[in-house]
Amino acid sequence: MEALMASGIGVLTGCAVYLLLRARTFDVIFGLTLLSYAVNLFIFSMGRLRPDAAPIVAPGPVDVSMYTDPLPQALVLTAIVIGFAMTALSIVLAIRSYFLSGSDHVDGEERP
């Protein structure tokens, strides 16, 4: 499970860096979105990867290793909502910039 999560985070990060280095606006926005997904997976995996484990600890003496940490789950949920809003805002700004400049290049100049 850990190797699958690590390789998934690595692939998402690699694709995000590739898209961030391109000169088109929508590629950069998509790269930032993929990078935020990779960071969300990383934060989520820090809360112990335990399938079918409850995030709430029952009262009384318990073994803490049998539970997952609920804080990374809450942080990832908040990051998903904020990331969606920022992606929507970035797309709206990119569309507005495209209609004003006539180009979707990051520097605003059309290249041959």
- For residues 59 and 6, what is the distance between their CA atoms, to the nearest angstrom? 33
Contact 41, 13 (CB under 8 A): no
Give the type of residue at 84: F
Tens of pLDDT, residue by residue over 78-98, are 999 999 999 999 999 999 988
Burial call 51-74: b when 16+ CB within 10 Å, e when fewer: eeeeeeeeeeeeeeeebbeeebee
For 23-48, the pLDDT digits (tens) are: 888 999 999 999 999 999 998 888 77
pLDDT band at 108 (very low <50, low <70, confident <90, very high): low
Domain at 2-49+69-101: CATH code: 1.10.287
Q: What is the pTM of this model?
A: 0.78
Band (63; pLDDT cuts 50, 70, 90): confident
Residue pair 24/105 in contact (Cβ under 8 Å)? The answer is yes
